[in-house]
């Protein structure tokens, strides 16, 4: 136990170093972590790390899904619901069918049931990989919204396909009628369970006297309760977490205080970073175990199978996205769609953003060793092919996706104003409404209160500054340079103030709590400056 703990502490330190390397190389960190894990796995004498799939499903998956749902825009999710739904369910089923037929034809000893099992495992793209890459490039908002929304939902549909295919392999029989009914029940009741549990946590946040720390702990517990409750009734735990997370995120501003939101963001950023880092590193470290379990099968032949299946997965997804674009043009004649002419560039990029990840590997590892009294057929081959598909899609597509986005010169089709223009307009409106309230609701207080007079002066100066900046944006280069210089000087002033606080803190007559409070205020001021423009 002691050695395992030390090993994982060392693993986290390696993850930090590799993420720093990824930032320096400007590469998505999941790619570097997987490749780093691969390289480390060849170090002689390194203990073999075996992934427990139940550990990933129960400990890692709920918080990662909940975090993704928590930061998903419900407005964007609902706007693109048809596209997200068709890819999260329809394309997953299509991909599973194609993989089933290809693997049954290609791999000796494979059956259609085993093919569907493999298809259910490798059909869902990974949420973290695509989101991390898209954040580093100037991609249209709709692209990231659809990719993130699809990745939230497709894990559930793929795991349902996996569950039915597993039953067919073990029992040797399959009833389409029963499977279709069960499919609908698992989806609907999974969503209902997530919302029901979300209502319970909504009540806890809303009506109990919680503190920011309690609120943060409740948000950490919520995804596990949603997942375990749904899985206990054999519903979709993934959909329960996603639906519950979307339900909660749409109400966070009404149930959480400002301090709870600030603290929660910081805690979840750390938790998500560590969990994602460990999972992607473990994917790379799992290579020796995967190769060893291949047993007597030809490694070269298995690699070819993996590469062919990877190509089929990539091509199927791209053809699906392009086909969906054509179908959207046709169906928009009869129903209203979010975009009646999506073109080919955006669908092509969307199709290329189909990297596979941790859910696929965890599903493959969860295949039992025995099917009744016999060894589970083709288990080692399925596991190896899954690993190859993850590696190929993550490295090949992950490294080339930013280049493809730049090459196609995708334009932002949904927002007439740039993000900078939206930022300026929002801040102008906020300053204006505050000034209006001071002048109309609290005029007598302002006349008598020096602090309120200073506040009004600050708001008025900010409003004038924003108006001037908006008028000069894109024209006056010197003005934009002045803003950058303003940020540099302001940060230098904050640095000098921190030095002064350190000096003051050495004196015994000052309370350390007071000093820490002002340090926090300076941190918030620096963050505000960083987010400006």
User: 329, exposed or middle or buried, with CB in 10 Å at 0-12, 13-18, 19+?
Assistant: middle
Specify if 45 maps to a domain.
Answer: no
Specify if 9 maps to a domain.
Answer: no
Q: Which residue has the higher pLDDT, 50 or 251?
A: 251
Whether residue 461 is found in the same domain as residue 347: no
Buried-exposed string 447-477: b where 16+ CB fall within 10 A, e elsewhere: eeeeeeeebbeebeebbebbeebeeebeeee
233: tokens are 């009734």
**Residue 395 has what DSSP assignment?**
I
Whether residue 110 is found in the same domain as residue 246: yes
- Domain range enclosing 395: 50-265+305-408
Sign of the torsion formed by the C-alpha atoms of 273, 278, 281 and 283: negative
242: tokens are 């996603």
**Residue 48 has what DSSP assignment?**
P
The DSSP element (H or E) to which 421 belongs, if any, is: helix 419-440
**Number of helices followed by number of strands (H, E) in the chain:** 26, 2
CB proximity list for 422: less than 8 A, separation 6 or greater:
415
Q: What is the pLDDT of residues 454-480, one digit of tens each?
A: 888 888 887 787 777 666 555 455 556
CA distance 99 to 122: 9
Specify if 289 maps to a domain.
Answer: no
Whether residue 146 is found in the same domain as residue 187: yes
- Radius of gyration of the chain measured on its C-alpha atoms: 26
Q: What pLDDT, on the 0 to 100 scale, is given for residue 223?
A: 95
Specify if 286 maps to a domain.
Answer: no
Region 103-114: mean pLDDT is: 88
Specify if 21 maps to a domain.
Answer: no
Tally of domains in the chain:
2
CB proximity list for 461: less than 8 A, separation 6 or greater:
none
Whether residue 205 is found in the same domain as residue 255: yes
User: 322, exposed or middle or buried, with CB in 10 Å at 0-12, 13-18, 19+?
Assistant: middle
Whether residue 75 is found in the same domain as residue 175: yes
Q: What pLDDT, on the 0 to 100 scale, is given for residue 193?
A: 95
Whether residue 71 is found in the same domain as residue 197: yes
Q: What is the pLDDT of residues 318-366, one digit of tens each?
A: 999 888 888 877 777 777 776 677 778 888 888 888 888 877 877 888 8
Q: What pLDDT, on the 0 to 100 scale, is given for residue 339?
A: 67
Whether residue 249 is found in the same domain as residue 335: yes
CA distance 226 to 235: 11
Answer yes or no: is pLDDT of 90 > 90: no
Sign of the torsion formed by the C-alpha atoms of 63, 65, 67 and 69: negative
Specify if 460 maps to a domain.
Answer: yes
Sign of the torsion formed by the C-alpha atoms of 327, 330, 335 and 341: positive
Whether residue 91 is found in the same domain as residue 179: yes
The DSSP element (H or E) to which 370 belongs, if any, is: strand 370-371
Among candidates 279, 186, 286, 183, which has minimal Cα distance to 240?
186
Whether residue 146 is found in the same domain as residue 247: yes
Specify if 42 maps to a domain.
Answer: no
Whether residue 309 is found in the same domain as residue 430: no
Domain boundary among 408, 431, 451: 408
CA distance 14 to 437: 53
Whether residue 452 is found in the same domain as residue 400: no
Answer yes or no: is pLDDT of 304 > 80: yes
280: tokens are 């992607």
Among candidates 319, 306, 316, which has minimal Cα distance to 391?
306
Long-range contact set of residues 195-198: C-beta below 8 Å, sequence gap at least 24:
195/243, 195/244, 195/247, 197/222, 197/225, 197/226, 197/229, 197/240, 197/244, 198/222, 198/226, 198/243, 198/244, 198/245, 198/247, 198/248
Q: What is the pLDDT of residues 190-246, one digit of tens each?
A: 999 999 999 999 999 999 999 989 999 999 999 999 999 999 998 888 889 989 998
Contact 386, 361 (CB under 8 A): yes
Helix (H, G, I), strand (E, B) or coil at 440: helix
Domain boundary among 408, 435, 470: 408
Instruction: Report the CATH number at residue 321.
Output: 1.20.1530.20
Specify if 6 maps to a domain.
Answer: no
Domain boundary among 408, 440, 466: 408
Region 58-84: mean pLDDT is: 83
What is the percent of the chain where pLDDT is above 90?
18
Contact 124, 359 (CB under 8 A): yes
Whether residue 329 is found in the same domain as residue 212: yes
Region 163-179: mean pLDDT is: 75
């Amino acid at each position: 136990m002691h050695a395992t703990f030390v090993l994982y502490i060392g693993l986290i330190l390696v993850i930090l170093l590799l993420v720093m390397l990824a930032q320096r190389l400007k590469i998505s960190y999941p790619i570097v972590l997987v490749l780093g894990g691969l390289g480390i796995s060849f170090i002689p004498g390194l203990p073999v790390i075996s992934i427990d799939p139940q550990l990933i499903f129960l400990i890692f998956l709920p918080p990662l899904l909940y975090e993704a749902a928590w930061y998903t825009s419900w407005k964007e999710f609902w706007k693109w619901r048809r596209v997200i739904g068709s890819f999260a369910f329809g394309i997953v089923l299509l991909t599973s069918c194609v993989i089933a037929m290809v693997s049954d034809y290609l791999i000796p000893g494979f059956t259609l049931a085993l093919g569907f099992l493999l298809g259910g495992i490798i059909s869902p793209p990974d949420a973290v990989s695509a989101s991390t890459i898209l954040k580093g490039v100037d991609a249209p908002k709709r692209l990231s919204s659809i990719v993130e929304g699809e990745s939230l939902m497709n894990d559930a549909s793929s795991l349902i396909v996996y569950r039915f295919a597993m039953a067919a392999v073990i029992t040797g029989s399959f009833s389409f009628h029963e499977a279709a009914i069960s499919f609908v029940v698992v989806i609907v009741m999974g969503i209902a369970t997530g919302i029901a549990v979300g209502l319970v946590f909504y009540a806890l946040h809303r009506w109990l006297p919680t503190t920011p720390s309690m609120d943060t702990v409740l948000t950490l517990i919520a995804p596990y309760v949603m997942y375990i409750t749904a899985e206990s009734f054999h519903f979709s735990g993934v959909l329960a977490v996603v639906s519950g997370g979307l339900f909660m995120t749409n109400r966070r501003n009404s149930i959480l205080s400002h301090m709870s939101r600030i603290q929660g963001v910081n805690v979840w950023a750390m938790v998500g970073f560590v969990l994602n880092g460990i999972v992607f590193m473990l994917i790379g470290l799992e290579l020796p175990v995967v190769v060893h379990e291949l047993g007597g099968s030809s490694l070269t032949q298995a690699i070819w199978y993996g590469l062919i299946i990877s190509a089929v997965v990539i091509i199927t997804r791209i053809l699906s996205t392009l086909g969906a674009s054509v179908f959207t043009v046709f169906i928009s004649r009869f129903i209203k769609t979010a975009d009646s002419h999506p073109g080919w560039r955006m669908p092509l990029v969307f199709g290329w953003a189909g990297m596979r990840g941790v859910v696929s590997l965890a599903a493959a590892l969860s295949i039992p060793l025995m099917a009744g009294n016999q060894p589970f057929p083709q288990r080692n081959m399925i596991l190896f092919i899954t690993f190859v598909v993850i590696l190929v899609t993550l490295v090949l597509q992950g490294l080339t996706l930013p280049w493809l986005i730049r090459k196609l010169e995708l334009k932002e089709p949904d927002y007439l104003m740039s993000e900078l223009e939206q930022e300026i307009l929002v801040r102008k409106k906020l300053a204006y409404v505050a000034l209006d309230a001071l002048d109309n609701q609290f005029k007598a207080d302002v006349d008598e209160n020096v602090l309120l007079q200073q506040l009004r002066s600050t708001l008025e100066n900010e409003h004038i500054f924003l108006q001037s900046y908006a008028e000069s944006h894109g024209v006056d280069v010197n003005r934009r340079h002045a803003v950058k210089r303003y940020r540099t000087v302001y940060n230098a002033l904050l640095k000098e103030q921190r030095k002064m606080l350190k000096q003051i803190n050495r004196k015994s007559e000052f309370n350390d709590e007071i000093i820490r409070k002002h340090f926090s205020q300076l941190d918030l001021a620096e963050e505000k400056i960083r987010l400006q423009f």
